[in-house]
Amino acid sequence: MFQSIGVKPLTPDPVLQVEDLSIRFQTGRGTVQAVSGVSLAIAPGETLGLVGESGCGKSTLGRAIVRLIEPAGGRIHLAGQDITHVPRHRLRTARRKVQMVFQDPFASLDPRWTVGELIAEPLHIHAVGTREERRARVRDLLHKVGLPQDAAERTPHQFSGGQRQRIGIARALALDPAVVVLDEPVSALDVSVQAQILNLLSDLQEALGVAFLFISHDLSVVEYVSDRVAVMYLGRIVELADRETLFRAPAHPYTRALLDAVPRTDGGPHRAAPLAGDLPSPYAPPPGCAFHTRCPMAVAACRTDRPQLRAVGPGHSAACHLAME
Amino acid sequence: MSEPVLAVENLSIAFASGRTTRRAVHDLSFAVDRGETLAIVGESGCGKSITALSLLGLVPPPGRIDGGRVRLEGRDLAALSEAELRKVRGARIAMIFQEPMTALNPVLTIGEQIMEAILEHERVGRAAARDRAIALLERVHIPDARRRFSDFPHRLSGGMRQRVMIAMALALSPAVLVADEPTTALDVTIQAQILDLMDELKRESGTAVVLITHDLGVVAQHADRVLVMYAGRKVEERATADLFARPLHPYTRGLIAARPRLGSGRFGRQRLVEIPGTVPSLSGRPSGCAFAPRCALAEVACTVAVPPLVAAGGGSVACLRSGDVHVPEHRREALDA
């Protein structure tokens, strides 16, 4: 992936395509529209970065793509197959092709299992290979993610955070997926270890040709790993562009504000005043453009008419009335 | 020269478990002046948070200070009784935490909590304390402060809660504010608001700030000086601009180079510079320089004895090879430009 630079035309054969996806939650406080009308596509071997602040729906979208959450509307196509409503008992085949890596992969796993058992579990579930073949596959995966062979016999708590994330990645790769959804995979790691995992992910992508949906709140990391980037705000994509364009010539005022707010170590341009105000409640999103309550440029139309995501340049779209081509 | 507001001298903090005692902080010294922000940076387990707690006399058992001292406005904290210490806390030195919900009382309104802090330390009437609490909420830019006074903490966003914590910390005009990862749990646009607020209040009041963080970007933009800790020891201390222009410790250099740089915008990508291995655990710290096992420049001498802190680059560094630490490549470009 690190050779692919510049504007990538939307591939005619995306490995993952999401169309007009909506996700709602019923909670004690009412209904939350967590994701609204999101469409995106990822080409084989590509990394799409997905950024936004807490509550923007980026993790919910990631979970829906691996079918951990049922969408309220829209479609998800994986390698040409519509997996939106594949019944659960037939979902396994589809799930082989899309896997997920979490911020802390062991928060929800049995700590008594050995690393070898954890990595082999997806192979078991899908009845892949003989016992010996599975064992060989675990050895191969440990090697690929840079862990010693004896790691297979140990339990996860014997490993550091960075090593645990390597185990999580090995598990996600066990079934040779076409797409891996990575949800904040380096956010819990120390800076010195983050670099190890980011380099590992780029090596694996180059070797295996797997596509990544890389979800993160960290713009520096997203810029580093992504071919293209989507920015979400309150459940919607507000801007989508190739990496260079998004970071050098963002069209949406929210994207500009996000970039401006990142504290820099390189004495880069001093930032403008930060955005005023808080994120609006997702229970009662503002009418019109959801960003208008914090937008320094908002005009009357922004308070009443919701801007559609529209092309503002080649491979570049933004949902802003004021964005110019 | 006037005395620093806060001076830490040869501080050591140990944790005892069973018959073994492990030292989390070794022989740490630093000082902070009025109106100055000193950042303490390092990764998990480097001792920065326990150092922060020690500044308020709050080291939790089984931890204890087993060497050195903390002097606040000239007074040795260890010489104070628990009652005297309680008076100092809040009034002369205050602290804000990463997650304000852990420090706020969920069953009291935010206004009552600020009033309580004032009434605890000063002989003022309730009405006067209430007016001051509202003024403080306004000072930290909480909109509609008079109405917000009666809100419970859970009604507020993370950013607003951190503003309340800051209001409470500043209620008694302390000489020193200790902020332990104050924006780590916040979104980036809210983080910018809170850091700007802290800078503004520091300028107005002259409070000295000790900022504990792992985020070098925050350090670069908000600290006057930086102290880098690794495995319980200070490895480098410099003026912020000097540290980023020319780090002298290989660990500092590694931390700067390991982060992807926003807006690098170059054609083609390079691998990030990794620091191999992981931070040593409290029980597994090597003899000699604790960073040596991960350091590309390490030589035999580095593993024999802990390198002493020596004056260098307008500050100090603890590295035998600091003369061979090179400027990170992207910094060099910035300097050439």
CB B318 within 8 A of CB B306: yes
Both A150 and A24 in one domain: the answer is yes
**Nearest-by-CA chain B residue for A262:** B188
Mean pLDDT of A256-276: 79
Whether residue A185 is found in the same domain as residue A297: no
Instruction: List Cα–Cα distances, B131 to B97, B134, B173, in angstroms.
Output: 25, 5, 16
Residue B261 C-alpha, separation from nearest chain A C-alpha, in angstroms:
6
- In terms of Cα–Cα distance, which of B325, B300, B331 is closest to B235? B325
Same domain, A190 and A47: yes
Segment B153-189, tens digit of pLDDT = 998 888 999 999 999 999 999 999 999 999 988 888 8
pLDDT beyond 70 at B1: no
A278 and A157 in a common domain: no
Kindly tell me if the per-residue pLDDT of B12 is higher than 60: yes
Dihedral sign, CA of A134, A139, A142, A143? negative
Let me know: does A125 contact A91? Beta carbons within 8 Å: no
Whether B260 and A198 lie within 8 Å, measured CB to CB: yes
Cβ pair A265:B254 closer than 8 A: no
d(CA A313, CA A315): 6
pLDDT tens-place string over residues B88-135: 998 999 999 988 888 899 999 999 999 999 998 999 999 999 999 999
What is the pLDDT, as a whole number, of residue B260? 86
Range(s) of the domain holding residue A117:
16-226
pLDDT at A271: 66
Determine phi and psi for B28, rounding to 5 degrees: -95, 130
Q: Which ipTM did the prediction report? A: 0.84
Asked if B157 lies within 8 A of A279 by C-beta distance, the reply is: yes
Q: What is the pLDDT of residue A7?
A: 38
| A294 and A203 in a common domain | no
- Read off the tokens for B333: 């470009």
10 Å CB burial of residue B106 (0-12, 13-18, 19+) is exposed
Both A70 and A142 in one domain: the answer is yes
- B214 contacts in A (CB within 8 Å)? 190-191
Residue B4: name the closest of B81, B72, B98 by CA: B72
As a whole number of angstroms, the distance between CA B302 and CA B291 comes to 9
Please choose, from the candidates B156, B121, B175, B164, the residue with its C-alpha nearest in 3D space to the C-alpha of residue B7. B175
Within-domain flag for A289 = yes
User: Among A2, A3, A247, whose Cβ lies nearest the Cβ of B265?
Assistant: A247
Asked if the Cβ–Cβ distance from A3 to B273 is below 8 Å, we say no
Q: Where are the alpha helices (DSSP H) in chain A?
A: 58-65, 88-97, 115-125, 131-144, 161-173, 191-208, 219-225, 243-248, 253-261, 300-304
- pLDDT tens for residues B250-293? 999 999 988 888 876 543 467 888 898 888 888 778 889 999 99
Select from B242, B272, B294 the residue whose CB has the most chain A CBs within 10 Å, as the one to mutate to test that interface.
Answer: B272
Given an 8 Å threshold on Cβ–Cβ distance, is B265 in contact with A219? no
Say which DSSP state B276 is in: -
With CA atoms as reference, the chain B residue closest to A196 would be: B274
Residue A156 lies in a domain: yes
Whether the CB of B271 is below 8 Å from some CB of chain A: the reply is yes
Q: For A60, left (φ over 0), alpha (ψ -120 to 50), or beta? A: alpha
Nearest CA in chain A to B218: A263
Q: Does B242 touch chain A (CB under 8 A)?
A: no
pLDDT tier at A269, thresholds 50, 70, 90: low
Q: Which residue of B has its CA nearest to A4?
A: B268
Q: What is the pLDDT of residues A39-92, one digit of tens each?
A: 999 999 999 999 999 889 999 999 999 988 999 999 999 988 898 888 766 777
Window 145-164 of B, Cβ < 8 Å to A: 157, 159-160
Answer yes or no: do A194 and B259 touch at CB < 8 A. yes
Q: Provide the shortest C-alpha distance from residue B166 to chain A (in Å).
A: 17
Q: The domain spanning residue A79 has which CATH number?
A: 3.40.50.300
Query: Cβ(B60)–Cβ(B53) under 8 Å?
Result: yes
**Are A274 and A319 in the same domain?**
yes
Query: Does residue A291 form part of some domain?
Result: yes
Residue A249 counted as domain residue? no
Of A183, A208, A226, the residue that ends a domain is: A226
Residues of chain B with C-beta less than 8 angstroms from the C-beta of A262: 188, 217, 262
Number of Cβ within 10 Å of residue B167's Cβ equals 27
- Other C-beta atoms closer than 10 Å to the C-beta of B173 total 11
Residue A164 lies in a domain: yes
Residue B23: burial class (beta carbons within 10 Å; 0-12, 13-18, 19+): middle
Q: Between A193, A221, A257, which is nearest B189 by CB?
A: A257
In chain B, the residue whose alpha carbon lies closest to the alpha carbon of A224 is B260
Residue of A nearest to B329 (CA): A266
Chain A residues near residue B273 by CB distance under 8 angstroms: 195
More confident site: B337 or B263 = B263
Q: Using CB atoms within 10 A of its CB, is residue B67 exposed (0-12), middle (13-18) or buried (19+)? A: middle
Do A39 and A173 reside in the same domain of the chain?
Answer: yes
Contacts of A273 in chain B (CB under 8 A): 196
Q: Are residues A221 and A288 in the same domain?
A: no
Among A163, A166, A138, A164, residue whose Cα is nearest residue A152: A138
pLDDT at B263: 72
Chain A / chain B CB contacts < 8 angstroms:
141
A209 and A279: one domain? no
Q: What is the dihedral of CA A278, A284, A288, A293, to 10 degrees?
A: -20
Q: Between chains, do B188 and A5 touch, taking CB under 8 Å as contact?
A: no
For A250, phi then psi, to 5°, come to -65, 145
Question: pLDDT (tens digit, 9 = 90+) per residue, B27-60?
Answer: 999 999 999 999 999 998 899 999 999 999 999 9
Residue at token pair 């480097």: B46
Q: Are A175 and A79 members of one domain?
A: yes
What ranges make up the beta strands (E) of B130-281?
A: 176-180, 208-213, 225-230, 233-239
- The answer to whether B283 faces chain A, any CB pair under 8 Å, is no
Interface test with B, best of A5, A53, A160, A192 (most B CBs within 10 A): A192
A53/A185 same-domain check: yes
Query: With 50 as the cut, is the pLDDT of residue B334 above it?
Result: no
Could you tell me if B10 and B68 are in contact, meaning their C-beta atoms sit under 8 angstroms apart?
yes
CATH 3.40.50.300 fits B6-223, yes or no: yes
Residue A43 counted as domain residue: yes
How far A174 CA lies from chain B's nearest CA (Å)?
25
Interface subset of B 15-74, CB within 8 angstroms of A? 43-44
Of A209, A226, A243, which marks where a domain is finished? A226
Q: How far is A124 from chain B (nearest CA, A)?
A: 32
- Choosing from A183, A206, A226, the residue where a domain stops is A226
Count: domains in chain A: 2
pTM for this prediction: 0.89
Arithmetic mean of pLDDT, B19-26: 90
Say yes or no for a CB contact (<8 Å) between B157 and A223. Answer: no
Q: Which residues, in sequence order, are bridge partners of residue A25?
A: A32
